[in-house]
Amino acid sequence: MDVTAGERTLRLLQDQETTSGWRASVDAVAPGMDQWIVGALFGGPYQRPGLSLRDRQLINLGALTAMGGVEPQLVGHVRTCLRIGMTRQEVGEVFAHLTPYVGTPRALAGMRAAAQAFEDANATHEAARHDG
């Protein structure tokens, strides 16, 4: 578990809005737990060789969609997919591909999470355009 490497990876993968949202809510309930998550997850498996960040994000989308009930995390991981260069079409195809494996209701929930992340990205882009 490497908190420093985890912090670097987290900054690369997640925008400030996504990161601060989950960290604040976790820290409010269990102070310090956010640091453990960063170290154990982003400083652990993400540091292993053999898979690209894109591959890891595809796995995350599949696992979270299959789990169901974790839409806030799924929205964040869709944002991460866009942040690392995946297209909206590629993200959409992930959920289309998952449908026969995880079931239509869970795949549709994933698509709704993706739609939310796409809307958020549009709003962020629009705000940046008006600020610039």
Residue ranges of the domains in the chain?
A: 1-49, 52-132
Query: Where does 52-132 sit in CATH, by number?
Result: 1.20.1290.10
Sign of CA dihedral 96, 101, 102, 103: positive
- pTM of the model as a whole: 0.87
- The per-residue pLDDT of the chain, averaged, comes to 92
Render pLDDT for 29-85 as a digit per residue (tens, 0 to 9). 999 999 999 999 999 999 999 999 999 999 999 999 999 999 999 999 999 999 999
Contacts of 95 (CB under 8 A, 6+ apart): 61, 65, 107, 110, 111, 114
For residue 19, name the pLDDT band (cuts at 50, 70, 90).
confident
Between 128 and 114, whose confidence is greater? 114
For residue 22, name the pLDDT band (cuts at 50, 70, 90).
confident
